[in-house]
Amino acid sequence: MVQWHEKLPTRIGLRLAGLALLGSAWMEGGLLQSIVAANPSAEASIQQILLAALMFMSASGGMLLAIVGAGL
């Protein structure tokens, strides 16, 4: 019996989800850059730290899904 993660549409979907996460990480990075550029001398706020953490998680998960896919 074929497992759900071995089917072709699932493998393609997981890799597309990874690419979507990479795209969101790129947009989050641009937003973070614009926020920091607006006031570069201030210390990092909690929103900036949380946005950076979200960007890191999106980039990490996106790369994992895009490269490994259903092999997770």
Alpha carbon 35 to its chain's center: 19
Tens of pLDDT, residue by residue over 1-30, are 678 778 888 899 999 999 999 999 999 999
Residue in the block written with tokens 């497992």: 3
pTM of the model: 0.84
Confidence of residue 53 (pLDDT cuts 50, 70, 90): very high
pLDDT confidence of residue 18: 96
Per-residue b or e along 23-51, where b marks 16 or more CB atoms closer than 10 Å to that residue's CB:
ebbeebbeebeeeeeeeeeeeeeeebeeb
How is residue 3 annotated by DSSP?
Answer: -
